[in-house]
């Protein structure tokens, strides 16, 4: 029993010692005086500005990607055929121009579905421009057929000529060329956004490297003393990396918070132009925005580690 009591007392004494050591330990030690040497104003401000730009570039990347997908989708669903004087006899004389064209479209392999618009649907389309008069027009309207392309197919160059032979004056509105151009534009915008991201990251690394060198210059004597007392390169570099990582993290958090309402507003404006999946793209934007502060911390930490270790290599 006395042994057990002694052990218990020893454990309590150890626990008290540990608690006392924890209580006595300064919350944040600053052996090298980096809190003063590495200001908590300029660098976080610069990182906040760069994070804001990075957030806009990310949003641009995401939006151009969504729009490219939307336009590519339009290319497969948006081919429209107009047949003037649809009720008149076709060139063959056996049927109406409308039926002749529909029969021909049904036989074409590149068409997976052809949907003629009813008069009511056509009137609905015209209502925004003509109002209630759209349903009672005296002028004859062409018949309109919306085509869906077969998967992997494109419209042949002679398709319009083939339909024109059956029903002269029939036109095919093919958005393919525009879709190709717009897709190319979207791809260029994506590349541009990526380039902006890359430039922002390079500027961030440069700014942090300059700040690190300024800190090293300001604390040259302290570093030399700590080095002579036996501090390893890792000990010194970790102090710089911790401080610079923290400054970058706080700056990036501010930049991300400022960018958040801007991204939400831009997302709301872009919603009508995006496909149905646009909401998930907005979520991806928010996730990317949330990842910017930890990324900034990592860039700050790693840049400081490399810059300080290279500088220390000159010491004996």
Partner 1 sequence: MVVRLDKVGLRYGPAGAEEALHALTLTVPQGGFRWLQGPSGAGKSSLLRLLYLEARPTSGRLAVLNTDIPPQGSPAARARLARLRRRIGVVFQDFRLLPHLTAFENVALPLRIAARPEGQIRADVQEILAWVGLGRRRDAHPHELSGGEQQRIAIARAVVHRPALLLADEPTGNLDDVQAERLMQLLREMNRLGTTVIVATHNESLVRRHPGPALGLEAGRLVIDDADGYYQADA
Closest CA to 173 of 247, 263, 80: 80
Q: Which of 11, 12, 20, 127 binds partner 1 (CB under 8 A)?
A: 20
Q: Which of 13, 121, 137, 225 binds partner 1 (CB under 8 A)?
A: 225
Question: Does 233 help bind partner 1 (rule: CB under 8 A)?
Answer: yes
Question: Does 110 help bind partner 1 (rule: CB under 8 A)?
Answer: no
From 84-92, 176-184, 186-194, 220-228, give the range in contact with partner 1 by CB under 8 A. Answer: 220-228
Q: Which of 1, 5, 21, 276 binds partner 1 (CB under 8 A)?
A: 21
Question: Does 228 help bind partner 1 (rule: CB under 8 A)?
Answer: yes
Question: Does 31 help bind partner 1 (rule: CB under 8 A)?
Answer: yes
Question: Does 15 help bind partner 1 (rule: CB under 8 A)?
Answer: no
How far from each other are the two terminal CA atoms of the chain, in whole angstroms? 59
Q: Are strands 111-116 and 79-83 parallel, antiparallel or unpaired?
A: unpaired
From 13-21, 53-61, 106-114, 294-302, give the range in contact with partner 1 by CB under 8 A. Answer: 13-21
Q: Which of 25, 41, 94, 109 binds partner 1 (CB under 8 A)?
A: 25
Beta bridge partners of 147: 79, 114
Question: Does 230 help bind partner 1 (rule: CB under 8 A)?
Answer: yes
The string of DSSP letters for 166-226 reads HSTT-EEE-THHHHHHHHHHHHHHHHHHHHHHHHHHHHHHHHHHHHHHHHHHHTHHHHHHH
* Residue among 224 and 298 whose Cβ is closer to partner 1: 224
Q: Which of 45, 110, 194, 235 binds partner 1 (CB under 8 A)?
A: 235
The CA distance from 184 to 195, in Å, is 16
The CA distance from 307 to 301, in Å, is 10
Q: Which of 6, 17, 124, 173 binds partner 1 (CB under 8 A)?
A: 17
Do residues 58 and 197 make contact, with C-beta atoms less than 8 angstroms apart? yes
Question: Does 24 help bind partner 1 (rule: CB under 8 A)?
Answer: yes
User: How many other C-beta atoms are found inside a 10 Å radius of the C-beta of residue 86?
Assistant: 23
* Residue among 1 and 229 whose Cβ is closer to partner 1: 229
Question: Does 217 help bind partner 1 (rule: CB under 8 A)?
Answer: no
Question: Does 316 help bind partner 1 (rule: CB under 8 A)?
Answer: yes
Question: Does 231 help bind partner 1 (rule: CB under 8 A)?
Answer: yes
Alpha helices in the chain (DSSP H): 2-24, 34-37, 42-77, 97-107, 119-130, 159-166, 176-218, 220-228, 233-270, 278-312
Question: Does 30 help bind partner 1 (rule: CB under 8 A)?
Answer: yes
The CA distance from 80 to 172, in Å, is 6
* Residue among 18 and 127 whose Cβ is closer to partner 1: 18
Do residues 51 and 296 make contact, with C-beta atoms less than 8 angstroms apart? yes
* Residue among 154 and 222 whose Cβ is closer to partner 1: 222
Q: What is the contact surface with partner 1 in residues (CB under 8 A)?
A: 17-18, 20-22, 24-25, 29-33, 36, 221-222, 225-235, 313, 316
């Amino acid at each position: 029993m006395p042994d057990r009591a002694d052990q218990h007392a020893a454990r309590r004494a150890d626990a008290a010692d540990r608690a006392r050591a924890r209580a006595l330990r300064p919350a944040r030690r600053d052996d090298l005086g980096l809190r003063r040497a590495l200001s908590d104003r300029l660098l976080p401000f610069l990182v906040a500005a760069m994070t804001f730009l990075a957030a806009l570039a990310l949003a641009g990347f995401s939006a151009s990607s969504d729009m490219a997908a939307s336009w590519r989708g339009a290319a497969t669903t948006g081919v429209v055929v107009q047949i003037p004087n649809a009720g008149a006899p076709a060139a063959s004389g056996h049927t109406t121009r409308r039926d002749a064209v529909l029969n021909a479209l049904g036989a074409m392999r590149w068409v997976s579905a052809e949907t003629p618009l009813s008069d009511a649907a056509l009137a609905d389309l015209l209502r925004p421009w003509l109002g209630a008069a759209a349903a009672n027009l005296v002028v004859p309207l062409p018949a309109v057929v919306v085509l869906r392309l077969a998967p992997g197919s494109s419209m042949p160059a002679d398709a319009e000529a083939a339909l024109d032979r059956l029903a002269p004056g029939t036109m095919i509105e093919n958005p393919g060329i525009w879709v190709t151009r717009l897709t190319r534009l979207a791809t260029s915008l994506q590349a541009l956004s990526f380039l902006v991201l890359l430039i922002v990251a390079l500027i961030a690394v440069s700014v942090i490297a300059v700040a690190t060198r300024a800190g090293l210059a300001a604390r040259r004597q302290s570093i030399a003393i700590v080095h002579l007392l036996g501090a390893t390169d890792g000990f010194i570099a970790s102090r710089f990396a911790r401080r610079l990582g923290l400054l970058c993290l706080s700056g990036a958090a501010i930049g991300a918070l400022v960018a958040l309402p801007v991204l939400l507003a831009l997302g709301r404006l872009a919603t009508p132009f995006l496909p149905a999946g646009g909401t998930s793209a907005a979520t991806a934007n928010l996730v990317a925005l949330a990842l910017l502060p930890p990324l900034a911390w990592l860039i700050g930490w790693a840049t400081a580690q490399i810059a300080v270790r290279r500088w220390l290599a000159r010491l004996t």
